[in-house]
Each structure stands twice: as structure tokens, then as C-alpha cells.
Structure 1
Amino acid sequence: MTVTIYHNPSCGTSRNTLAMIRESGEEPVIVEYLKHPPERARLRALADAMDLPVRALLREKGTPYAELDLGNPKWTDDQLLDFMLAHPILIQRPIVETPKGVRICRPAETVLELLDSPVASGK
């Protein structure tokens, strides 16, 4: 099984999710998205795979969300993607992709439904 995690090592939820993936016997592809943001098409594909609007990929806490007025409905999906590419900290985390689907794994236990042999610890 191929597992990819869009990971921020500074985030406790992201670290817990990564630990659960590894405890379940998988070694994921780790994308540290703050250093290597996904391309525009990849972000849109992730949102589409989760059946979520692009706006749902935005993280508010600890980001320039408020300063950029991103709660304003005037922004188009393309503009929101531009903001996420310019400020990767705006991308919600962690996002996990497996053959079973794609999820924003908040809380971390959400990852269990995406794994073949889930182990619920991660702490």
C-alpha cells in the first residue's frame, strides 16, 4: 500500500498521524509541504478526492488567514490556491492519501480508516 502524508513536523496532530501510520506497518511517503508545497493541480486534486471545496483546505489557526481576509467569500478557488501556494502554512494538515482515499486527518485517528492494518495509538 502506498501512503502519502502531507506533514508538518511541528504539528502534534501531524506527528501523531505519522506515528499511527508507522505503527500500522506502513512507511509513508512524507511530503513536508512547508518546504515542498504541492503544485496547484495537486492541491485541487486532493480537495476533489475528498469531495471538499478548495476553501476546506485552508487552515486558520497560526496562519495569515485573518490578515489576508480569507474568510471573505469574494475569493475564488483559484485565488485561494494562489494564497496556499504563496503561504503553504495555510494548507490544512495533515492530509493523508492511500488507495482507500484521502482525508484531512484531524483528529489523528481519522487516518485509521485509510490503513490496511490500523493500530490506534500514535501517542
Structure 2
Amino acid sequence: MSAAARTITFFHNPRCSTSRNALKMLQERSVSTPFTMDTVEYLKNPLTNDQVRDILTFLNYSENPAVLTEFLRKDAPKATTVEDVQAILAEDPALMQRPLVVDWAAKKAVIGRPADAVLEIVSDL
């Protein structure tokens, strides 16, 4: 009996070349690896505060507070708390670093900088 394919969520900006490249890599990997992918254009469908908190937890911000800054683009306001990140992204979702891929079931998230970093999320499937 085969295991069910895991679903990952890819937060994507189609205007970003790094995001497009990462999406292509994941699509190519999905041919040989058992996962399905939900692609979310986060500028049209911004992350909720709960999603932001969960993703930052998956990225282990409590042990590495630099994650709060890495989760946002370099030109974003400085964030020192999860609430700061939530407020910044509520005001302007474009300030999120992209691409971002999340495996909700495994409680893992990866920021795709460089683009091939997104493959870490499916490396153990």
C-alpha cells in the first residue's frame, strides 16, 4: 500500500524570477516525489496572522530571532516580534520574502533564497 502524497503550499509571486524558478524546480521534483502542491499568490491571498505565526514557528524563530528579519524583504521595516511581522504583512504583503514553501503536516517551512532551497521541504518524502 502506498502512502498518500503530502501536500505542500507554495507562496508565490509570479512576477519574481526567483519564485518562478523555485516553482519550476518543485514541479519537476513532483514527477518523481510523492507530493502535491497548492500554489498561492500571496499578493492576491495574503497570509493570515495565524499562518504567519505558524510559519515563523516552523522556521524556529524562538531559537533564532534573525528569522523575523529574514522572513521579510530587506527593504521592510524592522521586526523584533511575531506581532511586528504580522502587522507589516497586513499592511503590505509584498514585504514577505519569497518564495516560501510550507509543509503544514510536517511543520516545516523554507524560504527559497536561493531558489533551490525550496527542495529541502521535499527532501525526506
Flag whether TM exceeds 0.5 (same fold): yes
Q: What is the total number of aligned residue pairs between the two structures?
A: 109
- Choose from 44, 49, 54 the match for 1:35: 44
After superposition, where does 1:7-22 map in structure 2 within 5 Å? 7-22=12-27
Mind listing any 5+ residue stretches in structure 2 that lack a counterpart? 1-5
The CA distance in 2 between the partners of 1:30 and 1:101, in whole Å, is 16
Q: 2:72 aligns with which of 58, 65, 85?
A: 58
In 1, the alpha carbon distance for the partners of 2:102 and 2:118 equals 9
Query: Following superposition, which runs of at least 4 residues in structure 1 exceed 2 angstroms of deviation?
Result: 52-56, 98-101
- Residue aligning to 2:8: 3
Equivalence for 1:94: 99
Identity of aligned residues (%): 35
The AA in structure 1 aligned to 2:82 is D
Q: TM-score, normalised by structure 2?
A: 0.75
- Greater fraction strand: 2
- Return the offset for 1:100: 7.4
Q: Is the 8 A contact 1:14 1:108 kept in 2?
A: yes
**In terms of mean alpha carbon deviation, does 76-85 or 38-47 score higher?**
76-85
Q: TM-score, normalized by length of structure 1?
A: 0.76
Cα RMSD, aligned residues only: 2.3
Q: Which amino acid aligns with 1:2?
A: T
For residues 45 and 21 of structure 1, what CA distance do their matches in structure 2 show? Answer: 22
Displacement of 1:78 in angstroms is 1.4
Q: Which has the higher contact order (CA 8 A, sep 6+)?
A: 1
Structure 1 residues 96 and 76: CA distance shift in structure 2, 3 A: closer
* CA shift digits 1:39-78 (9 cap, x unpaired): 01111110110113433311125xxx3xxxx23x6x6431
Gaps of 5+ in 1: 119-123
Alpha-carbon distance in structure 1 between the residues aligned to 2:40 and 2:84: 23
